[in-house]
């Protein structure tokens, strides 16, 4: 072999060995070593490209079934003729921890007796925030047993969620009587008419299309809470309902602190004016119904994630015109002006001052008369509000208002191992190309040598 050919052959061998070493190093970089605890290491392959794509796309690699908590069976209720009694275990949540007695209340009423294991609640059927409903067969009294955890000791943290248990006492409306003679008793017709004219004010949460009642469930911080206020009664002239004023508290009491009044001044929804939020009254589809919207929020320096909404409502006969005390006004932040749900924006001109007119004849919802005004109170809660976690912020507007152009979390940047593997692959490709060029040059050289010899 000639000296030139020997030199070229040595160069080819060097390049081949370099390419083999680069490929072996890349394979080692693609493996991890796991310590087995007995001074031996086990080689474990790194995730493949398909596996990495699954990780980036959020696909679960291991089937995970969340733990489903079992019912704590911690409440025993006895319904008597005139009162209801509830015995509640201190282990109310079934997690082995005793609740603080002041955190658990029956419709706003505290326990009448506290022992090491039992909290005893007792209330008359018409007290402690009870609500009454009548069906064809039964008379129902409903109570809410509400648990709102407070900060632990001198700390500012809580480790349990709020909870609510609905309690109902059913009483039959139809009773069997003996065949003995019954002494008739006369009742005035006015009393019967009065009983038929009792009103019922209510609030309920609505779905996004405002068509159905929303099932109970948490809201995210900043979500829109859609509320429907209604007045119901039977055998009465058509009525129109108004929301006079509403407030939000963290406890089921309207006088609890802190509180936030978002409707005031006889029907002025001030939340959009104060916070710039998306709060407004909807146009009426029925006179006895009024719908409005409020965004969820949190009180600063308070860890509780529950909201209680209390509204004071009014009802008037439909022919009565709207005025400064009977209106539903929303603030348009872009136009910077007040508008009325009924179309007469003039009645909203007092929303930034004081709205009052000549006092009319007012009666409670238990006593009605023609050409009168009736008032009532309704409440919602607890409404759970969850903070938005960083995972939920992917693809959402940032502080400047610009949307992120990528749905991949920012912490998935290329690592040093990725750069090393990429470099080795490029070196291997380059070595292969160089080897091919050397072979071609060698072939040309040998052809020329053969021609010269011939």
Residues 237 and 213 reside in one and the same domain: yes
139 phi and psi, to 5 degrees? Answer: -115, 120
What is the arithmetic mean of pLDDT over 104-127?
91
Q: Domain range for residue 449?
A: 3-57+419-453
Residues 24 and 109 reside in one and the same domain: no
- Give the predicted TM-score (pTM) of the model: 0.45
pLDDT of residue 206: 94
Considering the domain boundaries, does residue 239 fall inside one? yes
Which tokens belong to 274?
A: 């104060």
Query: Final residue of a domain: which of 338, 372, 389?
Result: 389
Residues 287 and 371 reside in one and the same domain: yes
pLDDT of residue 263: 95
Residues 27 and 81 reside in one and the same domain: no
Residues 347 and 323 reside in one and the same domain: yes
Considering the domain boundaries, does residue 398 fall inside one? no
Residues 133 and 207 reside in one and the same domain: no
First to last CA, the chain: 18
Residues 357 and 224 reside in one and the same domain: yes
List the one residue out of 130, 124, 161 whose CA is nearest residue 145.
Answer: 130
Q: What is the DSSP string of 211-274?
A: SSBPPS--EETTPEEEEEEEEE-SSS--EEEEEEEEEEESSS-TT-SSEEEEEETTTEE-HHHH
Considering the domain boundaries, does residue 255 fall inside one? yes
Considering the domain boundaries, does residue 377 fall inside one? yes
pLDDT per residue over 324-375, tens digit each? 999 999 999 999 999 998 778 999 999 999 997 655 444 444 444 445 788 9
pLDDT of residue 314: 93
Name the 3-class secondary structure at 453. Answer: helix
* Total domain count, the chain: 3
The answer to whether residue 271 scores a pLDDT higher than 80 is: yes
Considering the domain boundaries, does residue 405 fall inside one? no
- CATH number, domain with residue 76: 2.60.40.3210
Considering the domain boundaries, does residue 62 fall inside one? no
Name the 3-class secondary structure at 41. Answer: strand
CA–CA separation, 245 and 326 (whole Å): 11
Residues 267 and 321 reside in one and the same domain: yes
pLDDT of residue 30: 53
pLDDT of residue 432: 77
* pLDDT bucket at 292, cuts 50 / 70 / 90: very high
What is the arithmetic mean of pLDDT over 220-249?
88
* pLDDT bucket at 183, cuts 50 / 70 / 90: low
CA–CA separation, 78 and 84 (whole Å): 6
pLDDT per residue over 349-358, tens digit each? 999 999 976 5
- Higher-confidence residue of 46 and 262: namely 262
3-state helix, strand, coil in the chain (%, to 5): 20, 30, 45
pLDDT per residue over 412-439, tens digit each? 344 555 555 566 666 676 777 778 878 7
pLDDT per residue over 83-100, tens digit each? 999 999 988 888 788 888
Start-end of H helices in 101-257 = 189-196
Residues 119 and 234 reside in one and the same domain: no
For Cα atoms 364, 381, 219, give the angle at the middle one, nearest 5 degrees.
140
Considering the domain boundaries, does residue 397 fall inside one? no
pLDDT of residue 294: 94
């Amino acid at each position: 072999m000639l000296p030139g050919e020997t030199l070229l052959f040595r160069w080819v061998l060097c390049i081949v060995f370099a390419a083999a070493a680069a490929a072996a190093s890349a394979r080692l970089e693609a493996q991890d070593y796991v310590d087995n605890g007995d001074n031996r290491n086990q080689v474990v392959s790194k995730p493949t490209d398909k596996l990495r794509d699954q990780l980036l796309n959020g696909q679960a690699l291991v089937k995970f079934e969340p733990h489903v908590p079992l019912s704590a069976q911690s409440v025993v209720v006895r319904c008597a003729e005139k009162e209801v009694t509830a015995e509640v275990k201190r282990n109310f949540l079934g997690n082995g921890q005793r609740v603080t007695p002041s955190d658990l209340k029956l419709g706003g009423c505290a326990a009448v007796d506290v022992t090491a294991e039992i909290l005893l609640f007792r209330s008359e059927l018409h007290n402690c925030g009870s609500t009454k409903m009548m069906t064809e067969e039964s008379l129902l009294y409903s109570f809410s047993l509400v648990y709102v955890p407070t900060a632990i000791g001198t700390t500012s943290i809580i480790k349990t969620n709020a909870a609510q248990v609905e309690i109902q006492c059913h009483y039959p409306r139809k009773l069997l009587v003996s065949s003995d003679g019954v002494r008739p008793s006369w009742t005035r017709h006015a009393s019967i008419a009065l009983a038929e004219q009792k009103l019922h004010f209510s609030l309920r949460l609505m779905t996004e299309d405002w068509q159905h009642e929303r099932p109970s469930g948490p809201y995210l911080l900043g979500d829109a809470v859609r509320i429907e206020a209604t007045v119901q009664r039977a055998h009465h002239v058509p009525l129109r309902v108004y929301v006079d004023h509403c407030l939000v508290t963290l406890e089921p009491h309207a006088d609890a602190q802190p509180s936030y009044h978002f409707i005031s001044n006889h029907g002025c929804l001030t939340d959009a004016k104060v916070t710039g939020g998306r709060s407004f009254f909807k146009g009426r589809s029925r006179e006895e119904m009024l719908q409005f919207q409020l965004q969820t929020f949190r009180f600063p320096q308070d860890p509780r994630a529950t909201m209680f909404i209390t509204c004071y409502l009014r009802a008037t006969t439909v022919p009565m015109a709207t005025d400064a005390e009977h209106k539903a006004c929303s603030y348009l932040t872009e136009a910077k002006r007040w508008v009325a749900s009924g179309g007469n924006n003039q009645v909203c001109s007092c929303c930034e001052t004081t709205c009052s007119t000549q006092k009319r004849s007012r009666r409670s919802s238990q006593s009605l008369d023609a050409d009168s005004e009736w008032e009532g109170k309704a409440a919602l809660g607890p409404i759970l509000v969850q903070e938005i976690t960083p995972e939920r912020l992917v693809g959402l507007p940032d502080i400047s208002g610009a949307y992120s152009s990528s749905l991949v979390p920012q912490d998935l940047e290329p690592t040093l191992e990725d750069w090393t593997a990429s470099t080795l692959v490029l070196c291997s490709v380059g070595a292969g190309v160089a080897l091919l060029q050397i072979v071609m040059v060698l072939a040309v050289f040998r052809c020329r040598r053969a021609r010269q010899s011939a």
